[in-house]
Amino acid sequence: MPTVKIPPVLRAQTGGEAQLETPGSTVGDVLRALADAHPGTRPQLFADGGELNRYVNVYLNDEDVRVLDGLDTTVSDSDTVVILPAMAGGRDL
């Protein structure tokens, strides 16, 4: 199964897991399977229409799926899907 890397802000919704094996043959399948298994991630990954939220970047291995086929990008079992939201932490408030 493809591996999904979970960013820190979503780990509360995955029981603290930073990496999950998740089934699927496309990036969209994998992310929907993740949302099914961990429903708390769904509103953070997907907008109401089922498309990815614009503030979530998704990579297949090291490449942005926006320059591949987006959610339709084909995934194999040896691939890693990286979910990456922007972070702003630096200097404290």
Partner 1 sequence: MATAAEPIDEIKRRIDLITNTTARDEVQAGAKLIDVREPHEWDEAHLEGAVHVPQGELLDRLSEVAPDRSERIVLYCRTDNRSSRAADTLQNLGYESVSVMQGGIVAWQEDGLPIVAAQGLTPEQRMRYSRHTLLPEVGVDGQVKLLNSRVLLIGAGGLGAPSAFYLAAAGVGTIGIVDDDVVDESNLQRQVIHTTDRVGMPKTASAKASIEALNPDVEVIEHRTRLNAENILEIISEYDILVDGADNFPTRYLLNDASVRLRKPVVSASILAFDGQISTFVPYEGPCYRCLYPVPPPPEMAPSCGAAGVLGVMAGVMGLLQANEVIKLAAGIGEPLVGRLLLYDSLGTRFTELKVNRDPDCPICGEGAPEIPESEMGKFPDYEAFCAGEPVVRA
Binding of partner 1 at residue 85 (CB under 8 A)? yes
Binders of partner 1 in range 1-60 (CB under 8 A) = 5, 7-9, 18, 44, 53-57, 59
In the bound complex, what is the minimum distance in angstroms from residue 80's beta carbon to partner 1?
9
Neighbours of 76 (CB within 10 A): 8
In the bound complex, what is the minimum distance in angstroms from residue 11's beta carbon to partner 1?
9
Task: Give the strand pairing for 3-5 and 19-21.
Answer: antiparallel
CA 18 centroid distance within chain: 11
Phi and psi dihedrals of 86, rounded to 5? -65, 150
The 3-state DSSP class for residue 39 equals: helix
Task: Give the strand pairing for 80-85 and 63-64.
Answer: unpaired
Which of 52, 81, 82, 83 forms a contact with partner 1 (CB under 8 A)? 82
| Closer Cβ to partner 1, 1 or 80, answer by number | 80
Chain residues in the site for partner 1 (CB under 8 A): 5, 7-9, 18, 44, 53-57, 59, 62-64, 66-67, 82, 84-93
